[in-house]
Amino acid sequence: MGIRNDIDKLSAKRRTLVRFQDTRKKLDEEEVKLTKDLEVAAKCKDALENMQRDAIEAANDLDYTVVP
């Protein structure tokens, strides 16, 4: 019974390890997606800030009062 019990425990640990490895792989893939999304968001933020700056400059050129 002792060896069979040890084999059962090892099998259970193996299944747990496989589940953890699968979860880790999914999390790694999700991290890549999130990193790409973060890069896109940063580029969009920069573009919006540039457009705002350009709009303020254009308004100032037209002598309009701009509230930042």
CA–CA separation, 42 and 64 (whole Å): 30
Give the HSE-up count for residue 39: Cα atoms under 13 Å, Cβ half-sphere: 6
Report the pLDDT value the prediction gives residue 14, as an integer from 0 to 100.
97
pLDDT of 66 reads 64
Residue 61 has a pLDDT of: 85
In a 13 Å sphere around the CA of 9, the CA atoms on its Cβ side amount to 6
Q: Which residues of the chain have pLDDT under 50?
A: none
pLDDT at 63: 78
Instruction: Return the pLDDT at 62.
Output: 87
End-to-end CA distance of the chain: 78
Q: Which domain holds residue 24?
A: 1-67
Q: How many domains does the chain have?
A: 1
Entry pTM:
0.64
